[in-house]
Amino acid sequence: MQTIEGLKRTIGSTRELQSLVRTMKALAAVNIRQYEKALASLRAYDRTIKMGFRAICRDRPAVVATPGAFAGRRRGAVVFGSDQGMCGALNEQVVSFALETLKDRAGDARSTVLMAVGERLPGLLEDSGHPAETVMSLPASVAGITAAVQDILLKIDDWHETAGIGQVMLFYSRQLPGMACRPHGFGLLPVDPEAIGTGEKSGWPGRGLPAYTMDWAPLFSALIRHYLFVSLFRAFAETMASENASRLVAMQGAEKNIDERLAQLNAKFHQQRQMTITEELLDIVAGFEALNA
């Protein structure tokens, strides 16, 4: 049986763990909010870009519908995960979803060149028999996403130039209502007309038709660059929001378990203390009776 002093030490260490879990829970909640704000701003930016595509592609739909220089038989995929642990099965779910999707589309996922974003992914991909060619870390905050997006765009350009890769997919986790997360796949290249709002059913929302003064080709190229930036930025923000949502759920479960453990330890401590007091009282009574005898 554990002594009272031993129980005190155990209760103290459990309370320290409880404080740590609560801190991580609070940080996860704060981080989720910052990524949700970034995603809300991104949606407005995305709508503006799509309106730009609609404006300049009204008379040239075939240009967008043709994959152009990025049409190629080789595939590349960017899989987004987490750098840190304690986020449930987020990484396992994304890896499983990505490999299954690539297998369904290409027949063999191993023919796809993989980039892993998140230090927890390379081991999972290696264990699945599909090692990543490139590994990147997640940025620490929203402020670092822009630089990370630029790094990925440079790598995709290198894939196209040196490996003939013309099809690129993104796989990441999206946050759902109630702190739930679900893996999501998105075709980045070649550009899908529906993804940029220039599909067959797309039209200009107002009566007045738009006009522009720039040359068509550089304007179209600029919009494509913005579209790629938004798509990758969204993948980062969704991933990091999902990571923190999963961590928040995990910390809530851990906090509940710690609370239950503390209740058990406190009950055991009070019981042990009462037993010790009772034994001491019995010893005093026995000694008093012995003296009287």
Confidence of residue 110 (pLDDT cuts 50, 70, 90): low
Q: Is the pLDDT of residue 293 over 70?
A: no
Tokens 């990758």 correspond to what residue?
232
Determine, yes or no, domain membership for 264.
Answer: no
Count of structural domains, the chain: 1
Q: How is residue 139 written in tokens?
A: 């940025």
How far is the C-alpha of 284 from the C-alpha of 282, rounded, in Å?
A: 5
Which pLDDT does position 97 carry in this prediction?
Answer: 95
How far is the C-alpha of 263 from the C-alpha of 241, rounded, in Å?
A: 33
Which pLDDT does position 196 carry in this prediction?
Answer: 76
State mean pLDDT over 107-127: 87
Percentage of the residues of the chain whose pLDDT score is greater than 90: 44
Confidence of residue 106 (pLDDT cuts 50, 70, 90): low
Determine, yes or no, domain membership for 49.
Answer: yes
Which pLDDT does position 235 carry in this prediction?
Answer: 96
Determine, yes or no, domain membership for 260.
Answer: no
User: What's the pLDDT tens digit per position in 177-232?
Assistant: 777 889 999 999 888 877 776 555 556 666 766 777 788 888 888 999 999 999 99
Enclosing domain of residue 140: 25-199+211-249
Determine, yes or no, domain membership for 258.
Answer: no
Which pLDDT does position 124 carry in this prediction?
Answer: 94
CATH number at residue 70: 3.40.1380.10
Determine, yes or no, domain membership for 58.
Answer: yes
- Label each residue of the chain as H, E or C: CCCHHHHHHHHHHHHHHHHHHHHHHHHHHHHHHHHHHHHHHHHHHHHHHHHHHHHHHCCCHHHHHCCHHHCCCEEEEEEECCCCCCCCCHHHHHHHHHHHHHHHHHCCHHHCEEEEECCCHHHHHHHCCCCCCEEECCCCCHHHHHHHHHHHHHHHHHHHHHHCEEEEEEEEEEECHHHCEEEEEEEEECCCCCCCCCCCCCCCCCCCCCCCCCCHHHHHHHHHHHHHHHHHHHHHHHHHHHHHHHHHHHHHHHHHHHHHHHHHHHHHHHHHHHHHHHHHHHHHHHHHHHHHC
User: What's the pLDDT tens digit per position in 20-40?
Assistant: 999 999 989 999 999 999 999
User: What's the pLDDT tens digit per position in 246-288?
Assistant: 899 889 899 999 999 999 988 888 888 888 888 777 778 777 7
**Whole-prediction pTM value?**
0.82
Determine, yes or no, domain membership for 94.
Answer: yes
Least confident of 58-62, 66-70, 131-135, 178-182: 66-70
Determine, yes or no, domain membership for 281.
Answer: no
Q: Taking Cα atoms as reference points, which of 75, 192, 83, 99 lies closest to residue 138?
A: 83
CA distances from 207 to 142, 203, 204, 211, 293 (A): 38, 10, 8, 13, 112
Determine, yes or no, domain membership for 269.
Answer: no
